[in-house]
A and B are shown apart, each in its own frame.
Chain A
Amino acid sequence: MGYKIPREAADNLFKGLGKHYEIFAPKVFSGEGCFSDTGIIRYGTVRTLAEIEFEKKSDYSFKEALLPINETCLYFTENTSSVPAGEEKKRLIFLRSCDLHALRRLDAIYLENGPEDFYYKRRRERTLFVLMGCPETCDTGFCVSMGTAQTDAYDLYLKVSDTFVWADCKSKELSPFFKGFLEECEPETAKSVSLQVEPEFPKSNKESVTLPVSFSDDILSHPIWEAYGNRCIGCGRCNFVCPTCTCFTMQDIHYRDNEKAGERRRVWASCQVDGYTDIAGGNSFRKSQGDRLRFKALHKIRDFEKRFDYPMCVGCGRCEAVCPEYISYINIINTLAKEGI
């Protein structure tokens, strides 16, 4: 059901949502960017529409709202262990089309690859997704190439201007908020607020990629890995910004003020960072940054697809934008495709 709602009324409606849901959306955090005077767009909780950055793509993805950077799995006392209670409030997460496609990839790993993940599932089941449109393409995205530029898998679509908010509500759970609003308006106004609302999707991007059609064994020794690998500093940022990277490391700790108590956590991990593969006896695998770049790039465009039948990468372009060494993932894919590897 679509609506066109005057901004003030929409702001009130949003406040009402906030009473029932914890709302996660991209926000500008000033002074936190890579360079001292720049801001960064990442996810945080919001109470008003005005706090949400609708125009620019977030530097970090929505995934931290579903998979915290650091999540406690078990609490320990001297003799007991217990599972932390789930969050009381349900969640609303604002995201874009590419991100909604990324959600499908998170589900694949956390719900389909082996047994279901308890912590992910219980949060996921209590989360609704709010689509933000992309009237203009972002700078580094290539969602059109990846087939992720459009989606109908949202619960709610929202578009805002200073005077109006357009909404398309597909979720039964959310529709009472809109119906309630309709009931409160004059019958004349109610007519003009109900209408068809179609999300805005990008038709083209500045960047485009062609995926290689097949991969030969020569890909392992392609010079591009070493060339870029020599520049890579192994900082892991390309993993942390990626909405489809899901790796974590388990960590146990005891509390400083009470040695007998502690917890087991899982913490985001990066396949580009030292230590990721270390095993007992001093062995480790993929020692060079070049090998690690290959491992990641091929997961995104080849290996995940072998398991799940669609590529992992959704073309959000975040890894392209974040790399401090200007390592171009887009160029890597296109080079491999061009050379018919």
Chain B
Amino acid sequence: MNNVYLPFPSQVKEIIRHTDIEYTFRMSFSGQVRPGQFFEVSIPKFGEAPISVSGIGPGMVDLTIRRVGTVTNQIFEHYKGNTLLMRGPYGNGFRTEDYIGKEIFVIAGGTGLSPVKGVVDYFSGHPEKVRGMTLIAGFKSPSDILFREDFSRWEKNMTVIQTVDSAPEGYQGPVGLVTKYIPQLSVSDKGQSAFLIVGPPVMMKSAAAEVLKLDVPEKNIWISQERKMCCGLGKCGHCRINSTYICLDGPVFNYAKGKYLVD
């Protein structure tokens, strides 16, 4: 009998440091996986943590982990150059097929960029498959900015607005919440647009409200939800909102359904 709770070992191939507490762990993995899906990273005797796939490549997936507590501390302390146990991938993830031929707008807050990053990477590599691409990414402060190298790559073939909530005096880049930059977006054909919004709950709500003000239909908006998860398998119940299990039916939802997910 197959035991879905058993993790498998995966080699840490490389570590990319973004900030003191945020690293990308490049892990060996060769199964099917989509951007926005997640793995349960498993540290024996400490616990498990759901972590989104932040990049996909041949024989590898990226996990960008923020150090916040018991399990993530262990990962940072002991697993550089080592083997990690994990199980997954879980959840639906973003279907890149849904966005082909569209004008894509990705709006991400902080670590919310991780789950959509695979989509940005994919279309950055295949610009011919979309009408256009814009990325608005917000971080708390300049020292919280993630994926710096990726940004310089992305800037070459898409519109990038990288903003910070607040910055010390003399800071050159854009300042302000991501929502500040939504009203000024020019959308060439609203019917053919796709808005991917990922971040903390409050940010997603206000960003979606701004996007709707542009007369973009609800069904052209996608969000990714984060909830407490203990299993990723539809059993523990923690992630449920009404009749929806975020771990099975999500975490990615079209806004036409996602807006009904009220706790």
Q: What is the interface of chain A, defined by CB distance below 8 A to chain B?
A: 73-74, 76, 81, 83, 109-110, 113-119, 121-122, 220, 246-254, 261-264, 266, 269, 271, 276-281, 283, 285-286, 291, 295, 298-299, 302-304, 306-307
Q: Determine if A277 and B228 form an interchain contact, defined as CB atoms under 8 angstroms apart.
A: yes
Q: Determine if B6 and A83 form an interchain contact, defined as CB atoms under 8 angstroms apart.
A: yes
Instruction: Give the CA-CA distance A250 to B46 in the complex, in Å.
Output: 10
In this complex, how many residues of chain B approach chain A with their Cβ under 8 Å: the count is 39
List of A residues within 8 angstroms of B236 by Cβ: 247-250, 266, 269
List of B residues within 8 angstroms of A253 by Cβ: 45
Q: Determine if A279 and B228 form an interchain contact, defined as CB atoms under 8 angstroms apart.
A: yes
Instruction: Give the CA-CA distance A306 to B262 in the complex, in Å.
Output: 16
List of A residues within 8 angstroms of B1 by Cβ: 116, 118, 121-122
Q: Which residue of A lies closest to B44 (CB)?
A: A76
List of A residues within 8 angstroms of B227 by Cβ: 277, 279, 285
Give chain B nearest CB distance to A270 CB in angstroms: 10
Q: Determine if B243 and A250 form an interchain contact, defined as CB atoms under 8 angstroms apart.
A: no
Instruction: Give the CA-CA distance A315 to B179 in the complex, in Å.
Output: 48
Instruction: Give the CA-CA distance A283 to B262 in the complex, in Å.
Output: 15
Interface centre among A113, A114, A118, A266 (most CB of B within 10 A): A114
Q: Does B200 contact A (CB under 8 A)?
A: yes
The SS class assigned to the B binding surface is loop
List of A residues within 8 angstroms of B85 by Cβ: 81
Instruction: Give the CA-CA distance A116 to B262 in the complex, in Å.
Output: 28
Q: Does B158 contact A (CB under 8 A)?
A: no
Give chain B nearest CB distance to A184 CB in angstroms: 39
Question: How many contacts between A and B, using CB within 8 angstroms?
Answer: 121
List of B residues within 8 angstroms of A115 by Cβ: 2, 4, 233-234
Instruction: Give the CA-CA distance A261 to B231 in the complex, in Å.
Output: 22
Instruction: Give the CA-CA distance A227 to B39 in the complex, in Å.
Output: 41
Partner of B235, one of A76, A246, A262, A307: A246
Instruction: Give the CA-CA distance A271 to B236 in the complex, in Å.
Output: 11
List of A residues within 8 angstroms of B200 by Cβ: 281, 283
Q: Which residue of A lies closest to B233 (CB)?
A: A114
List of A residues within 8 angstroms of B253 by Cβ: none
Instruction: Give the CA-CA distance A286 to B234 in the complex, in Å.
Output: 20
Q: Determine if B44 and A262 form an interchain contact, defined as CB atoms under 8 angstroms apart.
A: yes
Given A248-B230, A281-B200, do A118 and B3 touch, yes or no (CB 8 Å)?
Answer: yes
Q: Determine if B69 and A295 form an interchain contact, defined as CB atoms under 8 angstroms apart.
A: no
Give chain B nearest CB distance to A217 CB in angstroms: 9
Q: Determine if A250 and B230 form an interchain contact, defined as CB atoms under 8 angstroms apart.
A: yes
Q: Does B222 contact A (CB under 8 A)?
A: no
Q: Which residue of B lies closest to A220 (CB)?
A: B262
Q: Which residue of B lies closest to A278 (CB)?
A: B228
Instruction: Give the CA-CA distance A286 to B262 in the complex, in Å.
Output: 10
Give chain B nearest CB distance to A93 CB in angstroms: 20
Instruction: Give the CA-CA distance A61 to B235 in the complex, in Å.
Output: 19
Interface centre among B5, B47, B245 (most CB of A within 10 A): B5
List of B residues within 8 angstroms of A250 by Cβ: 47-48, 230-231, 236
Q: Determine if B243 and A252 form an interchain contact, defined as CB atoms under 8 angstroms apart.
A: no
Q: Which residue of B lies closest to A285 (CB)?
A: B263
Q: Determine if A295 and B6 form an interchain contact, defined as CB atoms under 8 angstroms apart.
A: no
Give chain B nearest CB distance to A265 CB in angstroms: 11
Given A117-B4, A291-B263, A304-B243, do A247 and B228 touch, yes or no (CB 8 Å)?
Answer: no
Instruction: Give the CA-CA distance A261 to B44 in the complex, in Å.
Output: 9
Partner of A306, one of B2, B5, B243: B243
Given A269-B236, A269-B237, do A83 and B243 touch, yes or no (CB 8 Å)?
Answer: no
Binary flags per residue of B221-252, CB closer than 8 Å to A gives 1, else 0: 00000111011011111101111010110000
List of B residues within 8 angstroms of A254 by Cβ: 45
List of B residues within 8 angstroms of A264 by Cβ: 44, 47-48
Give chain B nearest CB distance to A106 CB in angstroms: 11
**Could you show 7 A-B contacts with beta carbons less than 8 Å apart?**
A113-B235, A114-B234, A118-B5, A246-B237, A248-B230, A277-B228, A291-B263
Instruction: Give the CA-CA distance A250 to B42 in the complex, in Å.
Output: 11
Instruction: Give the CA-CA distance A254 to B74 in the complex, in Å.
Output: 14
List of A residues within 8 angstroms of B44 by Cβ: 74, 76, 81, 252, 262, 264
Give chain B nearest CB distance to A2 CB in angstroms: 35
Q: Determine if B245 and A247 form an interchain contact, defined as CB atoms under 8 angstroms apart.
A: no
Q: Which residue of A lies closest to B229 (CB)?
A: A279
Instruction: Give the CA-CA distance A116 to B3 in the complex, in Å.
Output: 8
Q: Return the 4 tightest CB-CB contacts between A and B, nearest first.
A: A114-B234, A247-B237, A262-B45, A306-B243
Give chain B nearest CB distance to A112 CB in angstroms: 9
Partner of A109, one of B46, B48, B235: B235
Give chain B nearest CB distance to A191 CB in angstroms: 45
Q: Which residue of A lies closest to B242 (CB)?
A: A303
Instruction: Give the CA-CA distance A247 to B247 in the complex, in Å.
Output: 14
Q: Determine if A114 and B238 form an interchain contact, defined as CB atoms under 8 angstroms apart.
A: no
